[in-house]
Structure 1
Protein backbone atom coordinates (compact mmCIF):
# COMPACT_ATOMS: atom_id res chain seq x y z
CA UNK A 1 0.00 0.00 0.00
CA UNK A 2 1.31 3.42 -0.98
CA UNK A 3 1.93 5.81 1.91
CA UNK A 4 2.56 9.44 0.96
CA UNK A 5 4.51 9.90 4.18
CA UNK A 6 7.13 7.51 2.83
CA UNK A 7 7.32 9.14 -0.61
CA UNK A 8 10.72 10.49 -1.58
CA UNK A 9 9.83 11.14 -5.25
CA UNK A 10 12.17 8.30 -6.19
CA UNK A 11 9.81 7.05 -8.96
CA UNK A 12 10.74 3.41 -8.29
CA UNK A 13 7.80 2.03 -6.30
CA UNK A 14 5.47 1.76 -9.27
CA UNK A 15 2.47 3.27 -7.46
CA UNK A 16 3.01 6.62 -9.08
CA UNK A 17 5.68 8.38 -10.99
CA UNK A 18 6.68 11.99 -11.32
CA UNK A 19 9.40 12.30 -13.92
CA UNK A 20 11.12 15.66 -14.14
CA UNK A 21 11.86 17.18 -17.51
CA UNK A 22 13.50 20.53 -18.10
CA UNK A 23 10.49 22.13 -19.77
CA UNK A 24 7.47 19.98 -19.00
CA UNK A 25 7.33 17.36 -16.26
CA UNK A 26 5.04 14.46 -17.01
CA UNK A 27 2.61 12.77 -14.67
CA UNK A 28 2.09 9.00 -14.76
CA UNK A 29 0.01 8.02 -11.76
CA UNK A 30 -1.64 4.69 -10.94
CA UNK A 31 -2.81 5.41 -7.40
CA UNK A 32 -6.52 6.02 -8.13
CA UNK A 33 -8.90 4.15 -10.37
CA UNK A 34 -9.41 6.48 -13.35
CA UNK A 35 -13.19 6.34 -12.95
CA UNK A 36 -12.84 7.61 -9.37
CA UNK A 37 -9.81 9.91 -9.70
CA UNK A 38 -10.52 13.29 -8.11
CA UNK A 39 -8.07 15.08 -10.41
CA UNK A 40 -9.97 13.95 -13.50
CA UNK A 41 -13.30 14.88 -11.94
CA UNK A 42 -12.22 18.38 -10.91
CA UNK A 43 -10.39 19.39 -14.11
CA UNK A 44 -12.55 21.70 -16.22
CA UNK A 45 -10.10 21.65 -19.15
CA UNK A 46 -9.93 17.87 -19.63
CA UNK A 47 -6.18 18.05 -19.12
CA UNK A 48 -6.10 14.56 -17.58
CA UNK A 49 -6.32 11.43 -19.69
CA UNK A 50 -5.96 7.72 -19.04
CA UNK A 51 -3.13 5.93 -20.78
CA UNK A 52 -2.94 2.18 -20.24
CA UNK A 53 -4.62 2.48 -16.85
CA UNK A 54 -2.40 5.35 -15.71
CA UNK A 55 -3.54 8.93 -15.29
CA UNK A 56 -1.52 11.43 -17.29
CA UNK A 57 -1.62 15.22 -17.44
CA UNK A 58 -1.41 17.21 -20.66
CA UNK A 59 0.22 20.42 -19.46
CA UNK A 60 -0.68 22.18 -22.72
CA UNK A 61 -4.37 21.91 -21.71
CA UNK A 62 -3.75 22.91 -18.09
CA UNK A 63 -4.83 26.44 -17.08
CA UNK A 64 -2.85 26.24 -13.80
CA UNK A 65 -5.95 26.58 -11.58
CA UNK A 66 -4.35 24.11 -9.13
CA UNK A 67 -7.69 22.48 -8.22
CA UNK A 68 -6.22 19.06 -9.00
CA UNK A 69 -3.44 19.60 -6.47
CA UNK A 70 -6.01 20.34 -3.77
CA UNK A 71 -7.92 17.08 -4.38
CA UNK A 72 -5.05 14.66 -5.07
CA UNK A 73 -5.05 12.10 -2.22
CA UNK A 74 -1.29 11.46 -2.49
CA UNK A 75 -0.01 14.93 -3.42
CA UNK A 76 1.85 13.77 -6.52
CA UNK A 77 0.68 16.49 -8.92
CA UNK A 78 3.18 19.28 -9.42
CA UNK A 79 2.37 22.21 -11.66
CA UNK A 80 4.96 24.87 -12.41
Structure 2
Protein backbone atom coordinates (compact mmCIF):
# COMPACT_ATOMS: atom_id res chain seq x y z
CA UNK A 1 0.00 0.00 0.00
CA UNK A 2 1.23 3.46 -0.89
CA UNK A 3 2.28 5.70 2.00
CA UNK A 4 3.02 9.20 0.80
CA UNK A 5 5.24 9.98 3.79
CA UNK A 6 7.59 7.19 2.73
CA UNK A 7 7.81 8.19 -0.92
CA UNK A 8 11.30 9.29 -1.84
CA UNK A 9 11.66 7.36 -5.08
CA UNK A 10 9.41 5.16 -7.15
CA UNK A 11 10.83 1.99 -5.59
CA UNK A 12 10.49 2.88 -1.90
CA UNK A 13 7.02 1.45 -1.36
CA UNK A 14 6.89 -0.81 -4.41
CA UNK A 15 3.53 0.59 -5.50
CA UNK A 16 4.95 2.52 -8.41
CA UNK A 17 7.64 1.64 -10.90
CA UNK A 18 8.99 3.94 -13.54
CA UNK A 19 12.09 3.75 -15.69
CA UNK A 20 13.67 7.15 -16.29
CA UNK A 21 15.50 8.21 -19.45
CA UNK A 22 13.74 5.98 -21.94
CA UNK A 23 12.27 6.86 -25.31
CA UNK A 24 8.83 5.60 -24.33
CA UNK A 25 7.45 6.60 -20.93
CA UNK A 26 6.88 3.53 -18.76
CA UNK A 27 4.56 3.61 -15.78
CA UNK A 28 3.04 1.04 -13.46
CA UNK A 29 1.36 3.01 -10.70
CA UNK A 30 -1.19 2.03 -8.08
CA UNK A 31 -1.29 5.29 -6.11
CA UNK A 32 -4.60 6.65 -7.44
CA UNK A 33 -7.83 4.79 -7.94
CA UNK A 34 -8.40 4.68 -11.71
CA UNK A 35 -11.73 6.48 -11.30
CA UNK A 36 -9.92 9.40 -9.61
CA UNK A 37 -6.59 9.42 -11.46
CA UNK A 38 -5.90 12.92 -12.80
CA UNK A 39 -3.48 11.60 -15.41
CA UNK A 40 -6.15 9.33 -16.85
CA UNK A 41 -8.60 12.21 -17.06
CA UNK A 42 -6.21 14.70 -18.67
CA UNK A 43 -4.75 12.50 -21.42
CA UNK A 44 -6.18 13.63 -24.76
CA UNK A 45 -4.66 10.64 -26.59
CA UNK A 46 -6.19 8.06 -24.22
CA UNK A 47 -2.66 6.76 -23.68
CA UNK A 48 -3.17 6.33 -19.93
CA UNK A 49 -4.76 2.95 -19.39
CA UNK A 50 -5.68 0.66 -16.52
CA UNK A 51 -4.05 -2.75 -16.55
CA UNK A 52 -4.84 -5.13 -13.70
CA UNK A 53 -5.75 -2.25 -11.41
CA UNK A 54 -2.56 -0.33 -12.18
CA UNK A 55 -2.33 2.84 -14.22
CA UNK A 56 -0.04 2.45 -17.23
CA UNK A 57 1.09 4.47 -20.24
CA UNK A 58 0.51 2.99 -23.67
CA UNK A 59 3.69 4.06 -25.47
CA UNK A 60 2.12 3.59 -28.88
CA UNK A 61 -0.59 6.16 -28.11
CA UNK A 62 1.49 8.60 -26.04
CA UNK A 63 2.57 11.77 -27.86
CA UNK A 64 4.79 12.85 -24.92
CA UNK A 65 2.88 16.12 -24.36
CA UNK A 66 3.53 15.97 -20.60
CA UNK A 67 -0.02 16.83 -19.50
CA UNK A 68 -0.14 13.69 -17.35
CA UNK A 69 3.15 14.55 -15.65
CA UNK A 70 1.81 17.98 -14.77
CA UNK A 71 -1.18 16.62 -12.87
CA UNK A 72 0.39 13.56 -11.21
CA UNK A 73 -0.11 14.03 -7.43
CA UNK A 74 3.11 12.18 -6.56
CA UNK A 75 5.28 13.29 -9.48
CA UNK A 76 6.01 9.78 -10.67
CA UNK A 77 5.39 10.45 -14.37
CA UNK A 78 8.47 11.73 -16.17
CA UNK A 79 8.18 12.71 -19.83
Partner of 1:50: helix, strand, or coil?
strand
Which has the larger share of strand?
1
The equivalent residue for 1:69 is 69
| Count of aligned pairs | 78
The equivalent residue for 1:15 is 15
1:1-80 aligned at under 5 Å gives the runs 1-3=2-4, 6-9=7-10, 11-20=11-20, 23-79=23-79
Post-superposition offset of 1:4:
6.7
Instruction: Please give the root-mean-square deviation of Cα atoms over the aligned residues, in Å.
Output: 2.2
Post-superposition offset of 1:51:
0.7
Unaligned runs of 5+ residues in structure 2 are none
